[in-house]
Amino acid sequence: MAEAKFGQAVRRWRDQVSPEAAGLPTGRSRRAAGLRREELALLAGISVDYLTRLEQGRAAHPSAQVVAALARALRLSDAERAHLHRLAGLAPPGPHTIPTEVTPSVQRLLDRLAGTPVAVYDATWTLLVANPPYAALMGDPSGWRGDERNGVWRHFLGPGSRVRLGPEERRGFEAALVGDLRSAAAHYPADPRLGRLLADLRAHSPRFAELWDAGVVGRHATARKTVDHPHVGPLTLDCDVLTVAGSDLRIMVYTAEPGSPDAERLALLTVLGTQSLRG
């Protein structure tokens, strides 16, 4: 019964969100004013199959990350977001938990950077939303669940990323990741998700435990990164990390020098990859 009510609510809100409000192009062949299931799945960063099972009441206990992603994609109000969490059997986000809401102003920024690889992370480096160009560049995250969406976990315990790191770059990158989690733990000491993440990293990654226990701190800075893409080869891009004041959101943006071969490859990858993700 609970699963059915959750799915019904998602479907109802999906029917009420116009493509224009979600920052999507509209076509003349649309039969409904709301979002298609494929569009909501793309916006929320989950698979169409999983969204289908949620809407049909065949998938139980969606995670807090999935519920938050659906709430963002559906442009829910605070009250609606809290209601969706309760329908999923989850406590609504409180003042002592790490913010995961993509604010309307940040969402408008994403909508206007539709041709640029952009992703938004929370204070623990958990991926909240990635636009299609970012997914085409770094890999489609729609099938990632739980800690798989966390950049620190993926680096120390998971498959890593497509970014090529030399020894010095790796040391600086790891110091920044550990420093960011240390800062998040200081600001949100009662956040249960962060507590579980830290315990897992310290228990299963000797490298993370070494850096954490040594008190290593660092911070992310603008850098040129080489991304080894399986289809177009290496791309050397500028990577900027912007912090949203008051929400602890991190916006990661990849750009290429105009007119460069990397810019041409990125443009090609963005077009082909976006078509693939939407196909």
Identify whether residues 155 and 39 lie together within a single domain. Answer: no
Identify whether residues 78 and 182 lie together within a single domain. Answer: no
Order the strands of the 163-164 sheet from edge to edge. Answer: 127-130, 118-121, 249-255, 233-244, 223-229, 163-164
Q: Which residues are CB-contacts of 152 (< 8 A; sequence separation ≥ 6)?
A: 124, 125, 177, 178, 180, 181, 197, 201, 208
Q: Is 205 exposed, middle or buried (0-12, 13-18, 19+ CB in 10 A)?
A: middle
**Would residue 231 count as lying in a domain?**
yes
What pLDDT score does 261 carry? Answer: 94
**Would residue 180 count as lying in a domain?**
yes
Cα atoms in the Cβ-side hemisphere of radius 13 Å centred on 236? 4
Identify whether residues 139 and 35 lie together within a single domain. Answer: no
Identify whether residues 112 and 206 lie together within a single domain. Answer: yes
**Would residue 144 count as lying in a domain?**
yes
What pLDDT score does 26 carry? Answer: 67
Identify whether residues 108 and 44 lie together within a single domain. Answer: no
**Would residue 94 count as lying in a domain?**
no
| Separation between Cα atoms, residue 201 and residue 99, nearest integer Å | 21
What pLDDT score does 19 carry? Answer: 83
Q: Give the DSSP per-residue string, 137-184.
A: HH---TT--GGGGBHHHHHHTS---SEE--HHHHHHHHHHHHHHHHHH
Q: Which residue has the tokens 């998700």?
A: 193
Identify whether residues 113 and 80 lie together within a single domain. Answer: no
**Would residue 35 count as lying in a domain?**
yes
Q: Supply the CATH number for residue 44's domain.
A: 1.10.260.40
At 54-112, the pLDDT tens digits run 999 998 888 888 898 898 889 888 889 889 999 998 877 766 788 888 887 888 888 88
Q: Residue 12: which domain range? A: 2-87
Weakly modelled stretches of the chain, pLDDT under 50: 277-279
Identify whether residues 129 and 247 lie together within a single domain. Answer: yes
Q: Which residues are CB-contacts of 183 (< 8 A; sequence separation ≥ 6)?
A: 123
Q: Supply the CATH number for residue 183's domain.
A: 3.30.450.180
Number of H helices, E strands in the chain: 12, 6
Identify whether residues 192 and 257 lie together within a single domain. Answer: yes
- pTM, two decimals, is 0.75
**Would residue 92 count as lying in a domain?**
no
Identify whether residues 69 and 164 lie together within a single domain. Answer: no
**Would residue 83 count as lying in a domain?**
yes
Count how many domains the chain has.
2
Identify whether residues 150 and 218 lie together within a single domain. Answer: yes
Identify whether residues 122 and 218 lie together within a single domain. Answer: yes
Identify whether residues 78 and 198 lie together within a single domain. Answer: no
